[in-house]
Structure 1
Amino acid sequence: MARPATGQTPPISFRPPKQLLVEFDATIEEGRTRSDVLIELMHDRINRKRRGRASVPDRPAGSEENTA
């Protein structure tokens, strides 16, 4: 059975490591919510990907090939 329409985007959730959450919360400016900041970060990441400048390498750190 489908959910009733609420007029809102359905919430999502995840469980970050506790220390990561503590550090993330410390970066949030007063008057903003976690959701505000996470949505902003999601938009930033999507825009970087669209421009072809991903902030996260496709390969794990230290796996760069030597060209010298």
Structure 2
Amino acid sequence: MARPATGQTPPISFRPPQQLLKEFDATIEEGRSRSDVLIELMHERVNRKRRERPAGSEEKTT
């Protein structure tokens, strides 16, 4: 059965090493959430990879 439309992006989860999570949390500015920071970092990585791609190469889709 398909998941009903909610108008929201489905959540994802993962388990980083405890020490990494502790250090990551210490870098987050007050008023920002882990999600906000992780989404920002994901955008930065995707944009960096796009810039590194040779001209004329096609984007892979999964």
- The alignment of Structure 1 onto Structure 2 pairs a total of residues equal to 53
Structure possessing the higher radius of gyration over alpha carbons:
1
Structure 1 partner of 2:19:
19
> Alpha carbon RMSD of aligned pairs, Å?
1.2
Structure 1: segments with no counterpart, 5+ residues = 54-68
SS of 2:52's equivalent? coil
Q: Note the 1:23-62 alignment, pairs <5 A.
A: 23-52=23-52
SS of 2:2's equivalent? coil
Runs of 4+ aligned residues of structure 1 deviating over 2 Å after TM superposition are none
Higher share in helix: 2
TM-score w.r.t. length of structure 2: 0.82
SS of 1:45's equivalent? helix
CA deviation after TM superposition for structure 1 residue 4, in Å:
1.0
Structure 2: segments with no counterpart, 5+ residues = 54-62
